[in-house]
Structure 1
Amino acid sequence: MKESKLSAHDLNMWFGKKQVLKGIDIDFAERQVTSLVGPSGCGKSTLLRAFNRMHDLSSDARVEGTLKLDERDLYDRASSVTETRKRIGMVFQKPNPLPKSIYDNLAYALKLHKFPKEEIPVMIQSALEESFIWDEVKDELDKPAVKLSGGQQQRLCIARTVVLRPEVILMDEPCSALDPISTGKIEELIVKLKENYTIVIVTHNMQQAQRISDKVAFMYLGEVIEYGTTDAIFNNPKNELTQNYISGYFG
């Protein structure tokens, strides 16, 4: 049995007076892919970003409850936000390469975290290989990253995440801006990456959730309504709301 790597217990969150997460209890197993599904505005991305401490940047955000990586409380006063984001990487909906070369997009993070200079080229090649993009860019590493196609940019952003060797990768709709061929490559990559990483992905694509997930959590109005194996959620949901959502008869 795969142990819990990332977890939330009695998680409640507000932006100002509006409560956006309500009593969330969930855990994500090590080296599995979990999809968060549900209608827009139900709290999926908010939950994802809570683990990465992204809400620290919002002055009106308030978090109550416990979020843990292994047994470490991510919101403990002694916890370093920088260290948390190194251990829990984030890939966003829209590819966001830095206005630098392909090489420097990865080197920047490694220099920031003071990795030995002589190790950087090897780490960059390894991350690009692991992200299924090395063969496409190995001869033009000095090319501006923004010149890559959308799908290549997203794989570069995934490489920029894995180059730091995180333990968890959070993905917020990483394929929503991509064409079907690029989406297929990212899905193939996600399935391969779970050999080494715990992955939590927000997706509105039910077919994608079925293809890549070990587990699925259905969220609605800030709550986790149902959480289980992909097969159970799609073929034998226990909650009527879940059934309606995955069947397309929602709202």
Structure 2
Amino acid sequence: MDQIKLSAHSLNLYFGEKQILKNINIDFPENQVTSLIGPSGCGKSTLLRCFNRMHDLSSDARIDGAIKLEDLDIYDKKNSVTEIRKRIGMVFQKPNPLPKSIYENMSYALNIHQFPKNEIPKLIESALRESYLWEEVKDELKKPAVKLSGGQQQRLCIARTVVLRPEVILMDEPCSALDPISTRKIEELIISLKKDYTIVIVTHNMQQAQRISDKVAFMYLGELIEFGSCQDVFQNPQNELTKNYVGGHFG
């Protein structure tokens, strides 16, 4: 039986009068990779951003229902957004290193969360190793992060997320701006990271979803159409919409 790390219950999201997400119910198993797939505009990234309260930044956003990190209701007003984002980290579509050195990119969040100063170098090395980047940058930690290649920048952004030891990592199309070699490195990294983290990833790449996913959720027009094991969704979909989408006959 899968241990559930993150879940959404009767989740609805509105921007003003327009409903974007419609009655989403989904459980994300611990230490597995779940891919959110579906056509552009179907609500995948919008759902992903609900999980660490990114929509708090939109004044016209309104959410009904519940999202739970184990037993914690993340939209309960008494829960700190900063603490939730420490436990549920996010990696964005385009690498977004800070205009600082590699080391300062890594230490920034640790300083904000007041980690002991003497522990910071060890934590940084550990996260860079975990993100397959240490051997490439260990002698250049003072180098501006923006001087790294695109693939290295994205691995730095992943390292910057894991340095806080979150329980869940959200990834919004993390390979869309990368070449095939960098993409393969990120995919290998994702598979490696799931032993310590629960990962939810948005991807438009069906081959990528098949390579890295344990579970797959297919969305269409703001609804969750089908959710199951990667093999079931791709090899034996139960819904006609899913069948057409994964078969390349959609629309």
TM interval, short-chain normalised = over 0.9
Aligned mates of 1:106, 1:133 — CA distance in 2: 12
Whole-angstrom CA distance in 2 between matches of 1:118 and 1:236? 53
Partner of residue 8, structure 2: 8
Partner of 2:222: 222
Structural mapping, 1:16-55, within 5 Å: 16-55=16-55
Unaligned stretches of 5+ in structure 1?
none
Cα distance in structure 2, aligned partners of 1:119 and 1:140: 20
- Distance, in Å, in 2 between the alignment partners of 1:149 and 1:185 is 13
Aligned partner letter, 1:33: V
User: Residue 177 of structure 1 corresponds to which residue in structure 2?
Assistant: 177
Q: Which amino acid counterpart does residue 34 of structure 2 have in structure 1?
A: T
Note the C-alpha offset of 1:122: 0.1
Displacement of 1:92 in angstroms is 0.1
1:77 Cα offset (Å): 1.4
Give the CA deviation at 1:191: 0.1
Distance 2:77 2:193 in 1: 31
Match of 1:139 in 2: 139
- Alpha-carbon distance in 2 for matches of 1:80, 1:70: 16
Q: Tell me the amino acid that sits aligned with residue 122 of structure 1.
A: K
- Any idea what SS the aligned residue of 1:200 has? strand
| Equivalent in the alignment of 2:75 | 75
Q: Secondary structure at the match of 2:218?
A: strand
* Cα distance in 1, alignment partners of residues 217 and 16 from structure 2: 26
Aligned-pair CA distance for 1:2: 2.4
Identical aligned pairs, as a percentage? 76
Deviations 1:46-78 (A, max 9, x none): 100001100000000000000000011000111
Partner Cα separation in structure 2 for residue 109 and residue 235 of structure 1: 42
Query: In structure 2, what is the equivalent of residue 194 of structure 1?
Result: 194
Write the letter of the residue equivalent to 1:180: P
Q: Is 1:248 the equivalent of 2:248?
A: yes
CA distance in structure 2 between the partners assigned to 1:24 and 1:83 by the alignment:
24
Normalising by structure 1, we get a TM-score of 1.00
Letter of the 2:240 partner, please give it: E
Deviations 1:3-48, CA, capped at 9 Å, x for gaps: 1100000000001111000000001000000000000000000100
The alignment partner of 1:136 has SS state of helix
Structure 2 CA distance, aligned partners of 1:21 and 1:4? 22
User: Amino acid of the residue matched to residue 135 of structure 1?
Assistant: E
Stretches of structure 2 lacking an aligned partner (at least 5 in a row): none
**Using the alignment, how far apart are the partners of 2:2 and 2:62 within structure 1?**
31
Q: Partner amino acid for 1:177? A: A
Q: Residues 175-212 of structure 1, C-alpha deviation per residue, up to 9 Å, x if partnerless?
A: 00000000000000000000000000000000000000
The residue aligned with 1:157 is 157
Match in the other structure for 1:239: 239
Secondary structure at 2:219 match in 1: strand
Give the 3-state SS of the residue equivalent to 2:156 in structure 1. Answer: helix
Written as runs of structure 1 = structure 2, the 5 A alignment for 1:92-131 is 92-131=92-131
Q: Return the letter of the residue paired with 2:167.
A: E
Q: 1:66: which partner in 2?
A: 66
Could you list the structure 1 runs, at least 4 aligned residues long, displaced by more than 2 angstroms after superposition: none
